[in-house]
Amino acid sequence: MTQDQWGTIRDELHQTMGANSFQSWIEPLKFVDAEAGIARFRVPTNFFGNYVSQTYGDMILAKITRFNPSIRRVTFDADTTSQSAAATPVSKAPQAEISEIAAPAVAVKPASLSDSLPGSPLDKRFTFDTFVVGKPNELAHAAARRVAEGGPVTFNPLFLYGGVGLGKTHLMHAIAWELRTHQPHLNVLNLSAEQFMYRFVQALRDRKMMDFKELFRSVDVLMVDDVQFIAGKDSTQEEFFHTFNALVDQHKQIIISADRAPDEIKDLENRIRSRLQSGLVVDLHPTDYELRLGILQAKSEMYARMYPGLEVERGILEFLAARIVSNVRILEGALTRLFAFASLVGKPISMDLTQECLTDILRVSERKVSIEEIQRKVADHYLIRHSDLVGPKRVRTFARPRQIAMYLCKQLTTRSLPEIGRHFGGRDHTTVMHGVRRIEELRKQDAQIAEDVELLRRSLEA
Ligand code: ADP
Ligand code: MG
């Protein structure tokens, strides 16, 4: 990678992550060099490096591999010695890069197995243990588990698809870990479709197609991540098709992921499409509230161990689960930042701190639910008039739905307590707060209320 390419990547990051985070975390990075599969950056402090690595490492790596697929790792090291290393930016001629790409040669002896196979390194965090199962992903999870048992091949291929950040790569790595542990004799190869193409092109160029074919046909389990990538790339598709058929003929398990269903991938040859559909096709649905909460709980327990003395209350997790409706990666990023921020400023994780630290994320995922909409839904649900919902009467038939509506306004909108109060006949913010707390308690004691709240929240989120 060149400084120019890093410049392009920086611009892209600027567009996608918002000015604040960009200025705090990306701008200070100094690109040093990219050698032996590692892109190195200089950072101001160790803490900074850890934080950037955890929060943005994957994203940065993904962007770098577009320019230079041989890069497998990014490091962020603090400059402990002097400025010398950062002083001379390394700029390489394209020719040099090509030879750099060629450096990690494909293992010539396929028989010498897994470690020498040109796959992606497995992420230690992506195991079945750390995968939180909920309605939206239970089928995909069950299918992955089955394949990971490594028994007789029942469905081939297993085709997992779903939007970005919903756990496809996580599940594939989990399968690979499981097989590695319990079926160490199996030759498992996990790589992205992009790497497949890259290896293929490299083999063509180096006239090593025989080695390439032999290598790919010698695996017992082949996993190809993000297969949509080969759409429109004709010769790669062709080769993929042959590899695929050869393995299926030998009853070797194949696992494929994509960001959409086989019939929605454009520019894919029909024979490949139908091959992909011939096994089990399962999708990962967008997360729902429960799954998000489950994931947040699991991850925050992990962080609480990493940052002794820091913890997040359930209320804040519920708030985040309701408000960050995008993918799991964003959810994780939010939590990572929250812990890092709190430990940096030395404060407990409060609601205020959460909102301050995550403004940009919360703004993006702000839903369009309005106070009026909430009031209408709640009034309809309890068969009362809107005027009674916001009016002064204190009988339970009106007061309870009113508190539920206030609670939902607090959870689902960004309006402040005084603003919410104004929409409820000019009530004081302490009244709203009382209402919100009351429902928080009642949800734990009264199954009917819990169910009503759940139902309303779902229909408002839909
Ligand atoms: P995809 O490949 O579908 O784009 P990933 O597998 O890379 O998504 O997941 C993005 C991040 O979210 C990863 O850090 C992963 O561990 C996490 N993640 C996704 N789904 C879950 C889940 N159900 N439980 C725990 N972590 C999850
Ligand atoms: Mg992925």
Q: For a ligand 1 pocket test, name from 328, 331, 336 the mutation site with the most ligand atoms within 8 angstroms of its C-beta.
A: 328
Can you tell me which atom of ligand 1 is nearest the CA of 225? 2
Of the bound ligands, which one is closest to the alpha carbon of residue 164?
Answer: 1
Q: Which ligand is nearest to the CA of 135?
A: 1
Q: Quick check: 120 pLDDT over 90?
A: no
Q: Is residue 304 exposed (0-12), middle (13-18) or buried (19+ Cβ within 10 Å)?
A: middle
Please report which ligand is nearest the Cα atom of 161.
1
For the CA atoms of 235, 241, 246, 250, what is the dihedral angle to 10 degrees?
160
Report the Cα 392 to chain-centroid distance in Å.
46
Which residue minimizes the CA distance to atom 20 of ligand 1?
A: 167
Q: Is the pLDDT of residue 417 over 60?
A: yes
Q: 226: CA distance to ligand 2 center in Å?
A: 6
| Centre of ligand 1 from the C-alpha of residue 285, in Å | 12
Report all structural domains of the chain as residue ranges with CATH numbers, in order of start: 3-88 (3.30.300.180), 128-283 (3.40.50.300), 289-365 (1.10.8.60), 371-461 (1.10.1750.10)
C-beta separation of 337 from 424 below 8 A: no
pLDDT band at 458, cuts 50/70/90? confident
Contact assessment for residue 191 and residue 119, using Cβ atoms and an 8 Å cutoff: yes
Q: For residue 377, how far is its CA from the centre of ligand 1 (angstroms)?
A: 33
Nearest atom (ligand 1) to Cα of 167: 6
3-state secondary structure of 366: coil
Ligand number nearest CA of 283 is 1
| CA–CA dist 9, 328 (Å, integer) | 23
Average confidence (pLDDT) over 96-102: 30
Question: Does 107 have pLDDT greater than 60?
Answer: no
Element (H, E) at 256: strand 253-258
Q: What is the pLDDT of residue 35?
A: 87
- 130 vs 55, higher pLDDT: 130
Pocket-forming residues, ligand 1, beta carbon under 6 Å: 125-126, 130-132, 137, 162, 164-170, 295, 328-329, 332
| Lookup result for tokens 């995008």 | 326
The residue behind tokens 């100094």 is 30
Tell how far the Cα of 323 is from the centroid of ligand 2, in angstroms. Answer: 23
Q: Average the pLDDT over 191-214 and give the result.
A: 90
Q: Given ligand 1 and candidates 192, 223, 324, 329, which is best to mutate, with the most ligand atoms within 8 Å of its CB?
A: 329
Examine the pLDDT at 132 and tell me if it is beyond 50: yes
Cα distances (Å, whole numbers) of residue 446 to 350, 385, 452: 27, 24, 10
| Torsion sign across C-alpha atoms 185, 186, 190, 195 | positive
- Rounded Cα distance between 333 and 59, Å, is 11
Tell me what percent of the chain is helix, strand and coil, each rounded to the nearest 5.
60, 10, 30
pLDDT at res. 382 = 95
C-alpha angle 379/315/168, rounded to 5°? 95
- Compute, in angstroms, the gap from residue 370 CA to the centroid of ligand 2: 34
Residue-wise pLDDT for 215-250, tens only, equals 898 999 999 999 999 998 989 999 999 999 999 999
Mean model confidence pLDDT for the chain:
86
Residues 6+ apart with CB under 8 A from 407: 435, 436, 439, 440, 453
Task: Please tell me the distance between residue 161's alpha carbon and the centre of ligand 2 in angstroms.
Answer: 10
Measured by CA distance, the residue closest to atom 21 of ligand 1 is 167
CB-based contact 231:266 (threshold 8 Å): yes
Closest CA relative to residue 2, chosen from 99, 68, 56, 78: 68
10 Å CB burial of residue 439 (0-12, 13-18, 19+) is: buried
83 has a pLDDT exceeding 90: no
Please tell me the distance between residue 51's alpha carbon and the centre of ligand 1 in angstroms. 19
In DSSP terms, 256 is beta-bridged to 159, 224
For residue 226, the ligand 1 atom closest to its alpha carbon is 2
> What band does 100 get if pLDDT is binned at 50, 70 and 90?
very low
Band (pLDDT 50/70/90 cuts) for residue 91 is very low
233: left (phi over 0), alpha (psi -120 to 50) or beta: beta
Q: Whose CA is nearest to atom 5 of ligand 1?
A: 167
367 dihedral zone (left: phi>0; alpha: psi -120 to 50; beta): beta
Bigger pLDDT: 17 or 113?
Answer: 17
Are 103 and 73 in contact, with CB atoms under 8 Å apart? no
Token duo for residue 151: 């028994």
Which residue's CA is the nearest one to ligand 1's atom 1?
A: 165
State both tokens at 402.
């009113």
| Residue owning the nearest CA to atom 10 of ligand 1 | 165
| pLDDT for position 80 | 61
Tell whether omega for the bond before 157 is within 30 degrees of 0, i.e. cis. Answer: yes
Pairing of strands 280-284, 158-162: parallel
Average pLDDT over residues 178-192: 92
DSSP per-residue string spanning 206-229: TT-HHHHHHHHHT-SEEEEE-GGG
Stretch 165-182: mean pLDDT: 95
* pLDDT the model gives residue 367: 60
> Which residues is 460 bridged to in the sheet?
none
